[in-house]
Amino acid sequence: MKGKYVVSALLAAVVSLAAFAEVTSLRGAQEIGDTNTVAPIKPVPKMQDKLALEYVHQPPLIPHSTEMVQINPSNNGCLQCHDVDKYRRTGAPRVSPTHYMDSNNKILSDVAPRRYFCLQCHVPQADAAPLVENTFKPAGKFGQ
């Protein structure tokens, strides 16, 4: 019983300290009620060279615009060029074999539902300044 009181007291202390901590955001010093000007979306070139991967299992970045690519439950525009039976004809990189496995590593005939929405992991490359400082350094051969 005494342990519950100690834990509760410690939790209350942490919560009260957090209430006094200064909270910052990417909006800067702008108040919530102020009118916010939205930065323009960075242009993505129609085609560009592929960027090097920075870490093991990093999803490759998309070297072209995805503005006209439609992905919804009934259609995946990425598979028009990248599917296993189409990539040779289009010259696009093939979808990884891991995308045809379910969560139990069973091989499927179509892209697994958990891998169907490509833009959850793969994003277009854009030449944009980082929003926050990043000190990440690629390991070994990565980033070359």
Q: Which residues are annotated as a binding site?
A: 64, 78, 81-82, 99, 118, 121-122
The neighbour count for residue 52, using CB atoms within 10 Å, is: 13
* pLDDT attached to residue 17: 66
pLDDT tens, position by position, 2-41? 677 777 777 777 777 666 666 666 666 767 676 767 777 7
- Name the CA radius of gyration of the chain, rounded: 23
CA distance 43 to 86: 28
Asked if pLDDT for residue 79 goes beyond 90, the answer is yes
Domains of the chain by start residue, with CATH: 44-128 (1.10.1130.10)
pLDDT tens, position by position, 80-108? 999 988 999 988 889 999 999 999 999 99
Q: Which residues are annotated as a binding site for heme c?
A: 64, 78, 81-82, 99, 118, 121-122
Q: For the chain, give the percent of residues with pLDDT over 90.
A: 32
